[in-house]
Copies of this chain bind each other. A is one copy, B any other.
Amino acid sequence: MLLTDRQLLILQVIVDDFIRSAQPVGSRSLSKKEEISFSSATIRNEMADLEEMGYIEKTHTSSGRVPSEKGYRYYVDHLLSPQALDQHDIKIIRSIFAGKIFEFENIIQKSAKMLSELTNYTSIVLGPAVSVNKLKRIQIVPLNKETAVAILVTDTGHVENRTFSLPASIDSNELEKTVNILNERLNGVPMDELHDKIYKEVASLLKQHIIHYDWFLQSIAETVKIPNTEKLFFAGKTNMLSQPEFHDISKVRNLLTIIDHEEWITDMIRSNSTGINVKIGSEIQNSIMENCSLITATYSAGSEKLGTIAILGPTRMEYSRVIGLLKLLSSDLSSALTKLYHYK
């Protein structure tokens, strides 16, 4: 059953008003708005219909109306006022990319910070999985007779390091040879294939040159196993506390607890589609996030998808503005990274 134009208008004004005020919207206050020309009684009738269809709800029998999840969903899908981004917002976002950009993490963290400051919601950026990057160089720096640091540099300039035990028997000559072999054989290999590749291609070579090679080999292979979880960057974790729907301590606690579980957040945010994605309330599939919405946008370098930017806020979120901001940021970020990594 389709909504009439008037119902659409009323739904839109209700959602807009509730997003702004966080207060249930009554027929009388609606009738006073300039975009609405009919009486409160008419509005009451229409609201009764909208409620019957599930787009709005009452908090109690004689209260004003509040958008339901279905209402928000409809609003986001069909009623979003054209996203004219604020000049100030644009300026702030652009400022992130003003200076020369060297490091990925830097710019990502800055993006997250700006987003959370602009919106006053929590922003989360999911970085690229290190595991898909390719090895540029491996280096082993002995610290003393028994331990050494292995350093892995990827083609994106990301550095991983890990300390491990050296075999007592090894000398610096052998170590150097090993490193050379490793670099020769492993250059350009994706990080998550290093472990296998070492056994397949490096083992035999190493055997010829190194005494006690087996234990050393295993040790290196183990060291090279980078956890393939994408790194998360947060900003504004506590912004939720200033939202009126979180004036209840226990809700806040639950929410912050979830936020501190990075693996859950990663699962929540990682998306296989590209572009903007809006999850409202129970669509997030997490009962504690029932009154939250999660808006995600993907970013990429060249044609390769790298990660996701997300904003977590109350269901009563400024969808229009947030979507606009995310679109802008993800596209700016993508082109910055494309340049940074010299994709064409």
**A residues in contact (CB < 8 Å) with B:** 100, 102-103, 136-137, 139, 141, 143-144, 147, 149, 151, 153, 155-157, 159, 161-165, 237-238, 241-242, 246-247, 249, 252-253, 256-257, 260, 342
Q: Which residues of B contact A257 (CB under 8 A)?
A: 238
Contacting residue for A249 out of B149, B241, B256, B342, CB 8 A = B241
Kindly provide the distance from the CB of A145 to the nearest chain B CB, expressed in whole angstroms: 9
Beyond A139-B151, A237-B260, A252-B252, 13 extra complex contacts between A and B, CB < 8 Å: A102-B162, A102-B163, A102-B165, A136-B141, A141-B153, A143-B157, A149-B157, A149-B159, A151-B159, A153-B161, A157-B163, A237-B256, A238-B260
Q: In the bound complex, what is the Cα–Cα distance between A121 and B141 (angstroms)? A: 39
Q: In the bound complex, what is the Cα–Cα distance between A103 and B147 (angstroms)? A: 11
Kindly provide the distance from the CB of A312 to the nearest chain B CB, expressed in whole angstroms: 16
Across the A-B interface, give the 5 residue pairs with the lowest CB-CB distance, nearest first. Answer: A102-B163, A159-B161, A238-B256, A241-B253, A137-B141
B157 touches A153 (CB 8 A): no
Residue of A103, A159, A237, A257 contacting most chain B CB atoms (<10 Å): A159
Q: In the bound complex, what is the Cα–Cα distance between A149 and B137 (angstroms)? A: 11
Minimum CB distance partner of A143 in chain B = B157
Q: In the bound complex, what is the Cα–Cα distance between A163 and B144 (angstroms)? A: 27
Main secondary structure of the interface of A (DSSP, over half): mixed
A159 touches B157 (CB 8 A): no
Q: In the bound complex, what is the Cα–Cα distance between A156 and B144 (angstroms)? A: 10
Minimum CB distance partner of A252 in chain B = B241
Kindly provide the distance from the CB of A203 to the nearest chain B CB, expressed in whole angstroms: 23
Q: Which residues of B contact A151 (CB under 8 A)?
A: 139, 151, 153, 159
Q: Which residues of B contact A103 (CB under 8 A)?
A: 162-163
A164 touches B102 (CB 8 A): yes
Q: Which residues of B contact A242 (CB under 8 A)?
A: 253
Q: In the bound complex, what is the Cα–Cα distance between A246 and B249 (angstroms)? A: 9
Q: Which residues of B contact A237 (CB under 8 A)?
A: 256, 260
Q: In the bound complex, what is the Cα–Cα distance between A241 and B136 (angstroms)? A: 45
Q: In the bound complex, what is the Cα–Cα distance between A143 and B342 (angstroms)? A: 11
Contacting residue for A139 out of B139, B143, B156, CB 8 A = B139
Q: Which residues of B contact A252 (CB under 8 A)?
A: 241, 249, 252
Q: In the bound complex, what is the Cα–Cα distance between A156 and B249 (angstroms)? A: 43
Minimum CB distance partner of A153 in chain B = B141
Kindly provide the distance from the CB of A151 to the nearest chain B CB, expressed in whole angstroms: 6
A136 touches B143 (CB 8 A): yes
18 contacts between A and B (CB under 8 A): A100-B165, A102-B162, A102-B165, A139-B141, A139-B151, A143-B153, A143-B156, A144-B342, A149-B157, A151-B159, A153-B161, A159-B161, A238-B260, A241-B249, A241-B252, A241-B253, A242-B253, A252-B252
Q: Which residues of B contact A253 (CB under 8 A)?
A: 238, 241-242
Q: In the bound complex, what is the Cα–Cα distance between A155 and B148 (angstroms)? A: 10
